[in-house]
Homo-oligomer: A and B are copies of this chain.
Amino acid sequence: MKALSLPPRLLMGPGPINCYPRVLQAMSTQLVGQYDPVMTAYMNEVMALYRQVFNTQNTQTLLIDGTSRAGIEAVLVSCLEPGDKVLVPIFGRFGHLLAEIAERADAEVHTIEVPWGEVFDPEQIEQAIRKIRPKVLALVQGDTSTTMLQPLEHIGAICRQYDVLFYSDATASIGGNPFETDAWQLDAVSVGLQKCLGGPSGSAPVTMSDRFVDCVRQRHHVEAGIRDPHHKDASGSRIRSNYFDLPMIMDYWGDERLNHHTEAASMLFCARECAVNLLEEGQQAVIERHKMAGVAMLAGIQAMNLAPFGNLKHKMNNVVGVYIPMGVEGEQIRSEMLNTFNIEIGTSFGPLKGKIWRIGTMGYNARQDAVLHTLQSLETVLRRAGHKLSPGAGVDAAMDVYAKAIA
C-alpha cells in the first residue's frame, strides 16, 4: 500500500480550511483510557475552554462526537418533542438544514425567508414569534452558502419576552466574528471546528443555558444496560436518538461519568488545541485578523474588476461571494486554481450554483500571505482566460489594506 500523501493545498474556500499545525500535532497524541483521571481532567478543561470560546458561564458546555450537523441534531432532537413548534428564519442553505432536522423530529416547523444575500431584521423575527409562539427559535448566525452574518444581539431579548428557547448554529462564524452566548441571551449554540477555529471537521462543541438544560432534562432516561435499579426516569417523552441524547451526554461529561459513547479522544485533543490557539492569540485579535483578511480580499476582488455578492454590510468576515464574470467558465477557473496553483476556492449551490465563487479567509488561512497568493493566482488564471483586469491591481489593493492598518 502507498503511504498517505496529500498535495500542499491552500484551502481558500468556505471550509474546511487548512488546520493550525498545533491542532494537527495534537491529534497524534497517544491515548489514555476514557475514565483515566488524566482524560476526565482534559474533558473538564475542554468544557472550561469552550465556555471562554462561547463567552458563557454555562456549566453544560461540551463536545458532540460528530461533524457540525451532529451538534445541530443533538440540540434539536433533545429539545423538540413531536408537535412542538419551532420557528426557523431561513437566509441560506443551513436554515433549510435546521428546518429539515426539526421536521424529522416531527416538530411543527414554521419558516420565514429572505432572499439569499440578505439577513433578517429583529422586527421580522419578533413578528413571526408573536404570530407562531414557538417553543424554539432556530437561527443560523453565519451561513456560508450566502456569506451572510445574521445579527443576533437583539434576538435574545425578544425570545425571553415570549418565553422562546433561542438556539443558534454558529459553525461558520465562530472565531472569526463576534459571538456572545450570555450577553445575547442564547439558550443553545452548536459549532464545528473546520471554519475559523482552524481544525478538521469531526467534533461539534455545544453550549446550553440552564433553561435549555431544564427543558431537555425533563426527557431524561438512563440507558437500560447501565441503569441503577433505584433510578427514576423523568416524565417527558424519551428522546428519539440515543447518540444525540443530551441529558445522557451530560451525565457522561458530568460528575456522574455514566458511560455513553467512548469519547473520541483524538478529536477532543484537537478541539482543545483549537480553543487554546484562539484564546492565546486572543479572541478579539483573531476576529481582527479575520476582519483584516476579509477586507483585504474584498478590496483585491473589487480591484480585479469582480463584483462581490450580497449585502456587504452583513457579510461574514471570513468569506466572500464573487460573481463569476461574463465570458469565463467558473469551474474551469477553479480547476486551474487547484491544479496549477494548489489553491482551492469554493463553488456554490442552490440558487447561486454556477453564479458565484466563494472565497474564504479563515482560521490559519486568515493571513496576509494567503490572501495575496490567492489574489495573484486568481489574477493570472482570469487574465489568461480573457477577463479584463488591470495587472497587479488586486494584490496591490490588498497590500494597501494591510499597509494602512500598520500605519
Residues of chain A touching chain B, judged by Cβ–Cβ distance below 8 Å, are 1, 4, 6-9, 11, 13, 15-19, 24-34, 36, 38, 42, 65-70, 73, 77, 92-97, 99-101, 103-106, 145, 192, 194, 200-202, 223-226, 238-244, 259, 261-267, 269-270, 272-273, 276, 279-280, 338, 344, 349-350
Contact = CB atoms under 8 A, between A and B. Distances in A.
Contacts of A241: 73, 77, 104, 241, 244
Given A73-B241, A100-B242, A201-B263, 19 more contacts: A1-B280, A4-B29, A4-B42, A24-B29, A24-B266, A33-B344, A36-B338, A65-B67, A67-B262, A69-B242, A70-B243, A92-B225, A95-B225, A96-B224, A104-B239, A200-B265, A200-B266, A226-B349, A226-B350
Contacts of A224: 96-97, 99-100
Nearest to A350: B225
Nearest to A195: B262
Given A73-B241, A266-B200, A6 B32 contact: yes
Contacts of A266: 24, 27, 200, 202, 266-267, 270
Given A4-B269, A267-B267, A269-B4, A238 B194 contact: no
Given A104-B242, A262-B67, A96 B225 contact: yes
Contact of A70 (B66, B93, B201, B223): B66
